[in-house]
Amino acid sequence: MPNQPEANNWPRWFDPRSRSLGTFGFILNRVTALGLTLYLLMHLVALGQLAKGADAYDGFIALVKNPLFKLGELLVIAAGVIHGLNGIRIALNSFGIGVRRQRSTFIALMAVSVLVIAFFAYKMFSEG
């Protein structure tokens, strides 16, 4: 990878070695954004099944009841919660609010994310 700025240096975005908490926030936001975009595409494909008639749609619904898909749904919820809460921190910072407390805000918001994700996991997997 070249030392000077190059568009194809982007894999370095995901390398947290020797970096601080801020980079973890940056990486989390990128990964969750990519995950949510992928989900949106899959969602559109699923909706496309509606146009193929009732049987195709029912078959698709049976497939997504599989526990693996449930785990996928939980990942989507996790990505949404993390991206949303982290995004609020970044938006507030962009208005000059809480910039010098961004580290503690990040830790607090990620703690909230864990609680929310655990709540959804419990709801989804305990109710069968």
Partner 1 sequence: MTEQPWQVHFKIYRQRSGQKPYIQTLTLAVDPDEYILDAIERIWANHDRTLTYRHACHHSTCGACGMRVNGCEKLACITTIRSVTQNGGNLRIDPLRNFPVVSDLVVDMGDFFLRMNKSGFDSVALSEAACLPYEKPKILMDQAEQVTERLVDCIECGLCISACPAANTDKEYVGPAVLASIQFMYAQNPSQELIDQADHHSGLWRCHSAYECTQVCPSGVDPAWRIMDMRKKVLTDRIKSIFRPRSQEKKNA
Site residues, partner 1 (CB under 8 A): 3-10, 12-13, 17-23, 25-26, 29, 90, 93-96, 99-100, 102-103
- Of 72 and 84, nearer to partner 1 (C-beta) is 84
Residue 99: DSSP 8-state = G
Look up residue 72 and give its amino acid: G
Q: Which residues have C-beta within 8 Å of that of residue 86, sequence separation ≥ 6?
A: 25, 28, 29, 32, 106, 109, 110
- Of 21 and 46, nearer to partner 1 (C-beta) is 21
Nearest distance from C-beta of residue 90 to partner 1, angstroms: 5
What is the separation, in whole angstroms, between the first and last Cα of the chain? 48
- Of 12 and 65, nearer to partner 1 (C-beta) is 12
What are the two backbone dihedrals, phi and then psi, of residue 52, each rounded to the nearest 5 degrees? -90, 5
Nearest distance from C-beta of residue 102 to partner 1, angstroms: 6
* Residue 93: CB atoms within 10 Å: 15
Nearest distance from C-beta of residue 9 to partner 1, angstroms: 5
- Of 56 and 91, nearer to partner 1 (C-beta) is 91
